[in-house]
Amino acid sequence: ITFNEYTNVAEISEILCKGCGTCVAACPSRAIIQNHFGDVQIFSMINSAIPKELKARGSED
């Protein structure tokens, strides 16, 4: 992420972007939108990372 002093705007290089969403989550003004990754895709990635054993237990903990 770089800061353009002329426009007073932070800029993200799409070429260097890994699509992790860290910048979106960290932006206090929610000004960053992650193209090609909506909530459905991100929740799907999170859900697939949770082991089946934890899913089976539900929210008991």
C-beta separation of 10 from 29 below 8 A:
no
C-beta separation of 38 from 19 below 8 A:
no
pLDDT of residue 6: 94
C-beta separation of 48 from 40 below 8 A:
no
* Each residue's pLDDT tens digit, 3-59: 889 998 888 888 888 888 888 888 888 888 877 777 787 788 888 888 877 777 766
Query: Global pTM?
Result: 0.48
